Amino acid sequence: MQLSALLSMPSLPVSDTVLWILLGIGLYWLTIGALRNRGLLPDYVSTQGPILTVHTKRGRAFLDRLSRPKRFWRAWANIGVGIAIVVMGAMFFFLLSAAILSSQAPQASSVQQPTNVLVIPGVNEFLPLSATPGIVFGLLVGLVVHEGGHGLLCRVEDIDINSMGVALFALLPIGAFVEPDQKSSREASRGGQTRMFAAGVTFNFIVTIIAFAILFGPVAGAIAVAPGAAVGGVAPGSPADSAGVQPNDRITAINGQAIEGNDDLTDRLEAEGGDSVQVEINGDETAEMQQALPVTAVTDGNPLGLEKGDLILAVNGESVVTETGFLEAVGDDETVTLTIERDGERQTLESVPVGSYVEITEDGPLADAGAPPGERFVITSFDGERTPSYESLSSHLGSTDPGDTVEVGGYLDGEPVSYTVELGERSQLTGGGTVGFFGIQGISGVIVNDGGIELYPADEYLAILGGDADGSYGGVTDSFLGKIAFVLFLPIVSVIELLPYNFAGFTGGIENFYETQGALGMFGDWTVFAVANMLFWTGWINVQLGFFNCIPAFPLDGGHILRNSTEAVLSRLPFDATRGMVRLVTTTVGVTMLFSFLFMLFGPQLLSG
């Protein structure tokens, strides 16, 4: 039977770490080749290029005993067939739609990079090397249960098994297999064969549900957010960077006053004032940090005239040290005077507009109201409400309805303008109406962070895993299956801009943001985090294996199920079906899937090139 998964290395190393991995794999191959040439490999071990397979006949007696309630397993497998067919249809339309979207938007995203399709930590940019133990464990579980499901239903349907085993790429498990006896497999009924092929993905989905149920329940309940402000990132050259604050640190006190969470940091910095403060890091180290508001990212040509690395010192003469203080100093003023420090020198920027920076779309309500398409526009008021940032504008939009008529005021090329706009339709996830623009995050196209610190929303990630996300994300996380669907996107969640950081488990340094509690806390932080990571990746990988193997193309399970289903349908038609007809259907679907998958990966590069 086919390999359940297949991973390959890219042609060029992407880092020193990957270079060492490739050198290690090369040494491993040389060693295996030498052993094979000298006849020192056991009979149950064979090699095919870089792939090493280990065969065994052990376990067949266990499968025989387990398969005895055959009526139960057939009934259970019939449900699995129904699930597999539904997922097969979904995968067909997903890949086809993805290929069509790739042709319409030929700018490739990072998710579509070929290396990011590979589930290899360190090569896939979304899978850090620190997640390797959890990923390998999840992959092993997925492969064993997948092929174990095939083996179990082989015995239920009286199909003999020649051998079972695993396939390794170096020391990395990349597949498992069950070798059914070809003669008894051909003698099995069409329904029996279909149940056998569907069993693997069904077991994967069951393991996914079990793993996530344990993760969302007792394990996530045993984890709490540790005291302090969680530092997700630090802007180079910022006050925090100069003070020695690093990503994955926790700021636990300011001038000796405890910081309980992210929200406390801004309050303490505002309350302390002064030119500098004493920052306590991780509860055991202190450093002096300058009090200033750094510009950490800018849009070229932003109306404030700011550059990355500038320090904002005052607004209209009022000293500011945080983003909150900046917005409070702006108040209802649509234009302000900024005092900044650039390259060590003070400068004054007068009459600069503060609002939400947007680009007007070609076809949209704002353009229909007379705004010039393609131009950038600072929206300072929306329906009579002040909008000093893109976040505030988005909040106001969420309370509107399509068809509402609103006044949109702001500055275009430095001149005040106002448009009467009838709102259009907006997505169900964000809600409200749409104005007709591409939004640019920040304040007038500028991002500022208190002290140059980008905070990591540790409580929000834990709430998603623990079942208490307060109805966020359109209510998706309110249900168990919805939560599973959302968690599948956590490793790439920053790409779709729902959260600022990708989440690859409690690893890579972010475990510093959490601590254990309750009955499981007695086992210690490391143990609980390790269990959480194994459950996270076991659930994640098993559902991916299930979906992948449901693609209706050979040699995947979906291809075999498609062939059997096609034969069953054609046999009921009022004409004699031939093997050629079945082959035509399966080949057409399989080639379509292969082309869609390849075009999804490489189409954007080809079109843009």
Cα(78)–Cα(87) distance, rounded to whole angstroms? 14
Cα(515)–Cα(509) distance, rounded to whole angstroms? 13
Cα(458)–Cα(499) distance, rounded to whole angstroms? 11
Quote the pLDDT of residue 50. 66
Cα(335)–Cα(333) distance, rounded to whole angstroms? 6
Burial class (CB in 10 A: 0-12, 13-18, 19+), 509: middle
Cα(283)–Cα(462) distance, rounded to whole angstroms? 22
Of the candidates 294, 308, 211, 273, the one whose C-alpha atom is nearest the C-alpha of residue 542 is 211
Q: What is the mean pLDDT of each run of 10 residues along the chain (609 residues)?
A: 36 52 75 80 72 72 85 90 89 82 62 60 72 87 88 88 74 70 82 89 94 94 94 93 95 94 91 89 93 92 92 93 93 94 92 94 90 93 94 88 92 93 70 81 93 93 76 70 88 81 91 92 91 95 89 83 84 74 83 79 64
In terms of DSSP bridges, do strands 437-439 and 356-360 run parallel, antiparallel, or are they unpaired? antiparallel
The answer to whether residues 408 and 381 touch, using CB atoms and an 8 Å cutoff, is: yes
Quote the pLDDT of residue 4. 40
H helix intervals, 440-553: 458-466, 480-487, 525-549
**Beta strands across the sheet bearing 161-169:** 45-48, 51-56, 161-169, 172-180
Helix (H) or strand (E) holding 501: none
Both tokens of 130, joined, read 């620190």
Residue 126 three-state SS: coil
User: What residue type is assigned to position 207 of the chain?
Assistant: V
Backbone angles phi, psi at 559, to 5 degrees: -65, -40
Of the candidates 244, 224, 226, 225, the one whose C-alpha atom is nearest the C-alpha of residue 234 is 244
Q: From 2.130.10.10, 3.30.460.10, 2.30.42.10, 3.30.365.10, which CATH number describes the 225-346+445-457 domain?
A: 2.30.42.10
Burial class (CB in 10 A: 0-12, 13-18, 19+), 277: buried
Quote the pLDDT of residue 304. 93
Quote the pLDDT of residue 474. 60
355-442 homologous superfamily: PDZ domain (2.30.42.10)
Residue 363 three-state SS: coil
Quote the pLDDT of residue 559. 85
Burial class (CB in 10 A: 0-12, 13-18, 19+), 579: exposed
- Going by the DSSP 8-state scheme, the letter that residue 371 receives in this structure is P
Pinpoint the residues of the chain covered by CATH 2.30.42.10: 225-346+445-457, 355-442
